[in-house]
Structures are given as structure tokens and as C-alpha cells.
Amino acid sequence: MSHSNEHAEHAAGHDHGEAHQHVVPLSLLSGILVLLLILTGLTVFTARELHFGEWNLVIAMIIACAKGTLVVLYFMHMRWEKMFNAIALITALIFVTLFISVSALDSFQYEDNINNYRAANPTRVPQAIISDAEVRAPELAAETGADHEAAPSTPAAPAKESHESGDGAAAPHAG
């Protein structure tokens, strides 16, 4: 008996488990795809049309978790895997949630300090950006049909900005 035949007979004597393939019907995958697209549309709709205040993030995360669950179960075939793989995945998700939650709790502790810093150090907007917004406000109001009080119709003089390069020349205003 040759060496390769001995190896084949030896390997046949051990049950290492069979390789399994699971063929998912195309109709099921198409249905999941349609459901994912509907959930994506729901995400966009709730973000643009419905305003729930602080609950916006919670609703968006619930929809995102539902979409992620569908992808993991059907496109990654976890629905048909052994229970050990599902337990490993769920354990990993629990720990990720735990780590993010602890980080969020820590950031809430320093929220007052952050707000005080922002109040003491306001963001400075370059004058050229403000001037451009004042000039374009009537145009934008006319385009959108807004009835808001617009900025003055006379364009503001372009502001000269100092540059760190030291040449003293202001950059041309592109608008």
C-alpha cells in the first residue's frame, strides 16, 4: 500500500466533521435586500422629516442595529451556524456595548467642563466667510422662497485677513 493510500485510510477513520455548505435561496436574499433598503429609507425619512429631539439618535441606532442584525444573520449566514459562533458574536457585542457605555458615562461627567470651555473660548469665524454669507443671503432666500429677513442687499466690503506667511498680501476672495 502506498503512503498516500495509508494517509487517506487513516483520515477516513477520524470524524473531523464535515464541511457544510448552506445555499440560501435567491428569493430570501432578495427579500432581505428589499427590507434593508426599506429600513435605509426609514432612517433617511426619520432624520429629515420627524424630529424627536434627543430620541433621534436612539431611533437611528435601533434601525441601524436591526439592519446590522439582518446582515449578520442572512448575508453572513450566522442563522445557520453552530450555536458557539452565535454565542461568541453576542459576547463580543455585549463587551463593545459595555465599553462604549462606560466611555459615555465618563464623558457625561466632564460635560460641564466642556461647555464652560466652549463658552470661554468661542469659535472664531473668519470675516471673509461672514461677508460672503451676508452677500449671498438675499440670493439664497430668493432661491428657496424664504420669507426670512435677509441681510442687507448692499454687499459688505471684503475683509482683509492677515496671513501667517508674513508677506502681508491678502488672499483673493473667491466667491
Of the three residues 59, 76, 93, the one that is the final residue of a domain is 76
Distance CA 87, CA 172 (A): 61
Q: Are residues 61 and 28 in the same domain?
A: yes
Which has the closest alpha carbon to 151: 130, 165, 166, 167?
130
Residue 165 lies in a domain: no
**Which residues span the domain enclosing 51?**
24-76
pLDDT, one tens digit per residue, over 132-150 is 666 677 777 777 665 555 4
pLDDT, one tens digit per residue, over 50-100 is 888 888 888 999 999 999 999 988 988 888 888 888 899 889 989 999 998
pTM of the model: 0.47
Q: Are residues 37 and 90 in the same domain?
A: no
Q: Are residues 47 and 87 in the same domain?
A: no
